[in-house]
Amino acid sequence: MNQASITYRKLQAPSGNGDCFIEPPISKSLSCIHANHQRFTAFAGIKIGGLSFTTLRQQARDELISAGREYTQTYLDLSNTKVTEKTSIVLTGHQPTLFHAGVWFKNFCLDHIAKHTQSLAINLIIDHDIVKSTSIKVPSQTHDTITLKTIAYDVATASNRIETTGIQDENLFNSFPQRVADQLNVFVKKPILESFWKLVQQAPTDIIGYKFSQARHQLEHRAGMNSLDVPFSTLCRGASFARLLLHLMKNAARFRKVHNAAVCEYRKVHRIRNLGHPVPELEILSDRIELPLWSWTNSTAQRQRLFCQVTAEQLILSDLPASFELRLDLAASSSECVEQLQAWQQTGLQFRPRALLTTMFSRLLLGDLFIHGIGGGKYDQVTDQIIYEFFGQQPPL
């Protein structure tokens, strides 16, 4: 087996109006899926959290489809969405924000590839990230001068997790489309925001991110697209993610070594000096090893880094300010440990993956093909290296 090391990749958005960048081309998507099936076969002998890779992957996919149906049917008719055991799954995902058209383009590619390969299209709502902005920039013209004006749809909050953030200022939120239209009037007479915002306001949820994603999904559905949406936080509470977490905890020292080596190699190849780019290295504080996850409790507003101490008898979980310390008995079975991890989440302690682990979980256990944006495609060279070194097999395409 030859190692595919990190190499410099110049991935750049096209500059021409209406141009797009798709690599590899959609015509090769079916062959990519078949190639990935062969690669997944090579993982068959690996155990993760007490289950074989093959069994865990099937469990994760069952959880994904079930969660997608349960969530999407709250606002869309799914009578035309058919799934069989042999159905391949094509994935993409993004934070549920007011993103630009280049990000939305991935969802159109998702639908096209799924239809081309007769696969199930699933969009992962990356709701375990934080709200980075509550405004957008809109072009505005005064006389002969064009500027960008910042227009807010809501005010910022102290607790800024997407999956828990609701509307803070109803008047600001409801007046948003008119304020944008007033600025855009010179350039666009009838912006899509008008029809989009009606769907946002009608969405059967109080969470802003879900309002945005459901409105977007309904516009796609009206355009003839067919897919499921799944909040990633839902998958984080499932047994499959808990088994992967257990595997990382038991092998925390080795995973940290592999992770940091891949991050450093990426920086070296791309001549990056910023120690936070593409992601920070995982630390060791005393005898606690940092995991690639965030944690928080119902009593803490901000997410914190998650650490694990591995002893002969126990796995000890804690966050950086030590607001909690929880123990898993290594004498217990893997299934018992998984049940305990899930039970903690049901009582208010949450575990959420960071960026690289999000795509590793998605690409290895959930889907048969994953569609990245340009930025994610660059950073996932690190994920590829981690998968290769940690599991000893070639990563999926």
Provide the token pair at 139.
């072009």
Residue 108 phi/psi, 5-degree rounding, is -70, -40
pTM: 0.95
How many C-beta neighbours within 10 Å does residue 272 have?
Answer: 14
**DSSP-assigned letters across all residues of 349-368:** -EEEE-HHHHHHHIIIII-S
Q: Do 138 and 147 contact (CB within 8 A), yes or no?
A: no
State how far the alpha carbon of 25 is from the alpha carbons of 21, 30, 88, 206, 288, in Å: 9, 11, 18, 39, 45
The predicted pLDDT at position 300 comes to 75
Sequence-separated (6 or more) residues with CB below 8 Å from residue 73: none
Written as six digits, the tokens of 296 are: 């928080």
Type of residue at 118:
Q
* pLDDT at residue number 14: 85
Q: Are 352 and 128 in contact (CB under 8 A)?
A: yes
> Using an 8 Å Cβ cutoff, are 82 and 28 in contact?
no
Return the ∠ at Cα 201 (arms to 198 and 203), rounded to 5°.
105
- pLDDT at position 1, please? 41
pLDDT at 269: 92
Tokens 């049917």 correspond to what residue?
Answer: 73
Give the per-residue pLDDT at 4: 57
CA gap 150, 282 in Å, rounded: 36
The one-letter code for the residue type at 246 is L
Cβ-based burial of 189 (10 A; exposed 0-12, middle 13-18, buried ≥19)? exposed
Q: At what angle do helices 53-72 and 239-250 cross, to 10 degrees?
A: 140
42 contacts 394 by C-beta, under 8 angstroms: yes
Low-confidence ranges of the chain (pLDDT < 70): 1-4, 85, 159, 301
Distance between CA 112 and CA 45 in Å, rounded? Answer: 34
Strands 350-353 and 89-94: unpaired
Q: Give the integer Cα–Cα distance in Å for 130 and 101.
A: 21
With beta carbons less than 8 A apart as the criterion, state whether 383 and 359 touch: yes
Strand partners of residue 150: 137
pLDDT at site 154: 98
* Rounded-to-integer distance, Cα 3 and Cα 6, Å: 9
Give the Cα separation of 131 and 159 in Å (integer): 9
